[in-house]
Amino acid sequence: MKQKFFIVTTVPHTLLFFKGQIQILKKLFDVTLISSPGSKLNYMQELEKVPTHGLEIKRNISLINDLKSLYHLVLLFKKTKPHVVHGNTPKGGLLSMLAAFICRVPKRIYCIHGLRYQGNTGIKGSILKAMERFTCFLASDIVTVSFGVAKTLKKDSITKKKVSVLANGSINGINSEYFAPGSINSNSLKEEIGLKKGNLVFGFVGRLVKDKGTNELIEAFVKLSEKYSHIRLLLVGGEEENLDPLLPITKKHLVNHPYIKSVGIQEDIRPYLDLMDIFTFPSYREGFGVSIMEAASMGIPAISSNINGCNEIIQDGYNGILIPPRSTDHLKNAMELLINNPELKNKLAAVTRPYILEKYDQQLVWNAVNDFYIKLM
């Protein structure tokens, strides 16, 4: 009988990062997915043909709700006796590692996708940093998605334990056949959203929140659009009004600016990526930067913040441009540089896909995953 392997996330959307990889794990373990109930959890159950368990875990800090979630995790682990609990995201990681520690689960893997305490100061920052330290203390093994995050954990004295980075980083690598130039026809979409020949399209995929640099991106674009009437901005993603709201002026531009098109959350982002000439990613903090990798696999050069993970995907001046986070001026200048230098844009684009596939091809990551988890058996 195979040993039980539980993957726990706060929200089911995070489970999408493990698409395909679960089939590797199924060869070694009896895999179950645990997350808050939702359509994405049902989708993963059907896609990967594995059992799931819906258990409400709130993203925001709430002592009563968190204790309820912990209680139900403890009951589940005591009843099912997993050999491995794989905790992901700050809240899902903390609660699953604590429950697994209480239940004496032999292998407690904390997978760090990003460091939430970065960018937070004062009491909130201190609480989040303490949570990170405690979660690492509870874990038997720590895995992170980039070398930058691994270094930061040591620099900030979060843990003295070994921190593993599988292959060259990322959670699941890139499906280069799925995210490939010309893999999808976007002509009808181009007409639908009003793009015309001669438009230069800047794009972004991700949550439209302050933490992703959306305010700076909108501000930079609006300033540039006053000078360059042929540029457009295509945004793919949803807002999070309760957790990380945008500035009122940003929201106004999202709705009213004639050159900005915000299309919300999309199941398949490839048609939208196919319309983008330059990918922009001015995030404040990341663990890795999956959307940059997806854009790069489709041959789109990027302007990105010089932060953990992103500066491993983008080599400044080679396959993209790195800028300081939280700087509208630096972002605006980088965007204007590529507006006025199509030769540079094409030069960056030419090496973008080959560079990504050499480092992050999915099979490369899956081989590393297989080797890592075999050692846990």
pLDDT digits (tens, 9 = 90+) for 105-140: 999 999 999 898 887 778 888 989 999 999 999 999
Instruction: In whole angstroms, give the CA distance from residue 276 to residue 210.
Output: 22
The reply to whether 140 falls in a domain is yes
Instruction: In whole angstroms, give the CA distance from residue 48 to residue 31.
Output: 10
> In the chain, pLDDT over 70 holds for what percent of residues?
100
What six digits make up the tokens of 22? 């679960």
Instruction: In whole angstroms, give the CA distance from residue 110 to residue 318.
Output: 33
The reply to whether 180 falls in a domain is no
206: domain range? 187-360
Q: Residue 48's closest CA among 60, 63, 35? A: 35
Give me the CATH number covering residue 298. 3.40.50.2000
pLDDT of amino acid 117: 86
Given a cut of 80, whether residue 260 has pLDDT beyond it is yes
Given a cut of 90, whether residue 66 has pLDDT beyond it is yes
Q: Are residues 114 and 150 in the same domain?
A: yes
Q: Are residues 114 and 253 in the same domain?
A: no
The reply to whether 38 falls in a domain is yes
Mean pLDDT (the chain, rounded): 95
**pLDDT higher at 241 or 47:** 47
Q: Are residues 14 and 128 in the same domain?
A: yes
pLDDT of amino acid 122: 86
pLDDT of amino acid 121: 79
Q: Are residues 366 and 347 in the same domain?
A: no
Q: Are residues 345 and 252 in the same domain?
A: yes
Mean pLDDT of 46-52: 96
- Please report where in the chains the tokens 């196919």 appear, as a residue: 274
Q: Are residues 20 and 140 in the same domain?
A: yes
Mean pLDDT of 307-334: 97
Query: What's at 183, amino acid-wise?
Result: S
Strands annotated E in 200-318: 200-205, 231-236, 260-262, 278-281, 302-305
Given a cut of 80, whether residue 7 has pLDDT beyond it is yes
Burial class (CB in 10 A: 0-12, 13-18, 19+), 67: exposed
**Crossing angle of helices 342-360 and 328-340, rounded to 10°:** 110
pLDDT digit string, tens, across residues 279-288: 999 999 999 9
Q: Are residues 142 and 202 in the same domain?
A: no
How far is C-alpha 17 from the chain's CA centre? 8
Given a cut of 90, whether residue 243 has pLDDT beyond it is no
The reply to whether 181 falls in a domain is no
The reply to whether 179 falls in a domain is no
Q: Please indicate, yes or no, whether the overall pTM of this predicted structure exceeds 0.85.
A: yes
Mean pLDDT of 282-297: 94
Number of structural domains in the chain: 2
pLDDT of amino acid 345: 98
Q: Are residues 278 and 214 in the same domain?
A: yes
The reply to whether 75 falls in a domain is yes
Question: What is the pLDDT confidence band of residue 171, given thresholds at 50, 70 and 90?
Answer: confident
